[in-house]
Chains A and B, each alone.
Chain A
Amino acid sequence: MHYNCAVMGVIILLGPQRLRPSLARVVADHGIDGRIAAITAGWQEREAEDDELAEHLSGRTVNLCLYRRAERVFASDPELAAAYHARQDSLKRAQELYRLRLDHSMAAVRDLMRLEGESEWLEDELRAAFEVVRRLDDGHVERVREVHADFSKKWTPRKRPAVRKHRRELAKLLAGCDAVAVAGGHVAVLLNRLRLFGMDELFGDLPVLAWSAGAMALGRRVVLFHDSPPQGFRNAEVLESGLGLYRGILPMPHARRRLEIGDRRRVAELARRFAPRVCVPMDDGGYLKIDGPSLWAEAPIRRLTVQGHVERLESTPDELAEGEPS
């Protein structure tokens, strides 16, 4: 296999950590015995409430406080803050418009999937219907990417004094660490903070361990999902590109609570829609290690298949040889 799953250093994706944390064991298994930079920006105002995490890692964490730093940047640079908020409003509107079209396109997919095996043309129709959805997803990602690119070009956040100052501090903190741990929380808030400070560059070759929203934000594509929200079913939707530190895997945290994993048609729908990316339900225990060209899963990591099954994932899936579209 010559396909590089990990774009940078070693990436380790874990299941949720609150109830049955496995991070300390995984860190120990990989010989990481120094300090660990913690990113808990997804917890927003609770960012600093990291006592349990620090205790779990025997006090070796250094919280990078990205959420608090971003608040300080916005407070000291009102022009950037205003532009940032305007960008977020724009992205929110783009998401609403995308969702409108998505719901109609996905309705066609589901209607066709219900007709399973009925006619010789069905598979062609289904393939075409999925293609429409994939184009829609890709188009949305591209639109969001353009919004970010325009923002970066116009406001050059990384050249602004407040951001530069924090980046210098962050680089210094990271220099004293042996790994980075990225916790979950609000995925867009987390991703925006990671992006604002250009954390992908600052990580360098440090191993990065991430779970829940942290795992989602580091990949190439962030997909929001929940099969049974209280106001009724919603289609999974693409939010935007992630940092792109690894490829080909779509982590789906808290699958036990969020996914109808026993519904074969639903599983097949997700696997097919997002192929060749591999949908990986992430629950407690187990982890996925992505190191250059190889991907290694410690049980009980599983994957969704286009046939609608949930299978154990052990090594680099064949689909990844084709690579993930950018």
Chain B
Amino acid sequence: MSLAIRELEKTYAGDSEGIDGFLAEHSFPLQEGTTTTFVYRGEAEEVHLLHWIFGLESTLAFTKLGDSDLWYLVMELPELSRVEYKLDVVRDGEHKWIRDPLNPLLAHDPFGANSVYQGVGYETPEWTVPDEEARVGDLEEIAFRSEAFGEERTVQVYLPARYRKNRRYPVLIVHDGSDYLRYAGLKTVLDNLIFRLEIPELLVAMTDSADRFGEYTSNPNHDRFIAQEVPAELERRFPIDPDPSAWGLMGASLGAVATLSAAWRNPGRFGKLLMQSGSFVFTDIGDRNWRGPQWDGVVGLMNAFREAPGRPAERLFVSCGIYESLIYENRSLVPILQATGMDLRYVEARDGHNWENWRDRLRVGLSWLFPGPLWMVYE
């Protein structure tokens, strides 16, 4: 089957009508099997795709259709791929990064929004959108003084629907909680998974950091805050099961490093760890990673952990996108984690280093760590 853009190439005769018809007949990016055509229409000297897929050139040049103002790029993207991207449009020598004007699908993150390409077979999981049948939990903000940081810190706590003070709950502490709420729909996900009995009713404590590189990269103060101060405050205010097997800790990217750091330095505190796209940068020779000196703290932590991992938890969930450079570090970590005897589930996805990737793995990750009663309960 000939691609639609190839047909247009054949029939284009310098008129804009053919292009108008092509744009009107299709939605973009144009998906024809696993072949995808990205299209931009406008005056430009060059157009590039910025995609953050590790392994491909970071920018891919569009081709101009004859003397028209239509630019296109054809590429193969495997089934189930999900790619966030922007267009780099060069005009009068100036580069301007824009979202794809022909694609309404967006993903948001702390830096703004990207256009999203969803490959064949990918669907936004239905458990990530509000379910009118699900009971809805509450968020409560608590503030307390952290001795580790010498200042007041706030933590948002998710209380499940039908929360009762006379029960004892498992608890999960989440790094970058506000981002998980805003960009990964964490509250909706929790409401839905609890309603579907896929995870038990649990409390979720969400921390934030204004200095992620300073606090998340093997910082003893942060380890103390996460593994001692937050748990103590939670136990003081809420009915929590004291058994370490009821305690979980999670994070993404540097938040996953902070998760591993706090758990490793406080063995027996957390029974369950969930780490997504961990920035587990390490070296096999020397102590300076190619990514630069700002990673020295992480490299020191990871090299020490890889040398003597111990058994920081009982059950782990690790996920990573295969389109992100960190896939190398995460895959490298898997056999080390397996060798410790911890119960590990490792999942890869055709996605990048972004919040919707982390959102999409929450169901399998949370239900692995905190299995719900759905097999026995029929309400």
A residues apposed to B, CB below 8 Å: 16, 18-19, 42, 45-46, 49, 184-189, 212-213, 216, 224, 226, 229-231, 234, 253-254, 257
Contact = CB atoms under 8 A, between A and B. Distances in A.
Interface in B165-218: 167, 193, 196, 198
B374 A213 contact: no
A257 B198 CA distance: 12
Contact of A185 (B167, B198, B379): B379
Contacts of B285: none
Contacts of B198: 229-230
Contacts of A18: 379
B368 A231 contact: yes
B133 interface: yes
Interface of B: 133, 162, 167, 193, 196, 198, 363-364, 367-368, 371, 373-379
Nearest to A213: B378
B367 A230 contact: yes
Contacts of A16: 379
A12 B364 CA distance: 37
B376 A186 contact: yes
A230 B363 contact: yes
Contacts of B363: 230
B378 A253 contact: yes
Given A45-B167, A186-B373, A231 B378 contact: no
Contact of B375 (A49, A185, A234): A234
A184 B368 contact: no
Given A19-B133, A231-B368, A257-B196, A184 B375 contact: no
Contacts of B133: 19
21 contacts: A16-B379, A49-B162, A185-B379, A186-B376, A187-B376, A187-B377, A189-B376, A212-B378, A213-B377, A213-B378, A224-B375, A226-B374, A229-B198, A229-B374, A229-B375, A230-B193, A230-B364, A230-B367, A231-B364, A231-B367, A253-B378
Contacts, number: 50
B378 A185 contact: yes
- 7 tightest A-B CB contacts, nearest first: A230-B367, A213-B378, A212-B378, A253-B378, A230-B198, A184-B379, A184-B378
Contacts of A19: 133
Most buried by A among B162, B193, B196: B196
Nearest to B345: A231
B368 A254 contact: no
Contact of B379 (A45, A212, A229): A212
Nearest to B365: A230
A184 to B, nearest CB: 5
B131 to A, nearest CB: 10
Nearest to B377: A186
A261 to B, nearest CB: 16
Given A230-B363, A230-B367, A254 B378 contact: yes
Contacts of A45: 167
Contacts of A226: 374-375
Nearest to A232: B364
Contacts of B196: 257
B310 to A, nearest CB: 27
B376 A224 contact: yes
A213 B379 contact: yes
Nearest to B364: A230
Contacts of B375: 224, 226, 229, 234
Nearest to B362: A230
B315 to A, nearest CB: 13
Contacts of A224: 375-376
B379 A188 contact: no
Most buried by B among A16, A184, A226, A234: A226
A188 B368 CA distance: 22
A19 B132 CA distance: 10
A187 B167 contact: no
Nearest to B199: A230
B172 to A, nearest CB: 16
A18 B197 CA distance: 15
Nearest to B196: A257
B364 A185 contact: no
Contacts of B378: 184-185, 187, 212-213, 216, 253-254
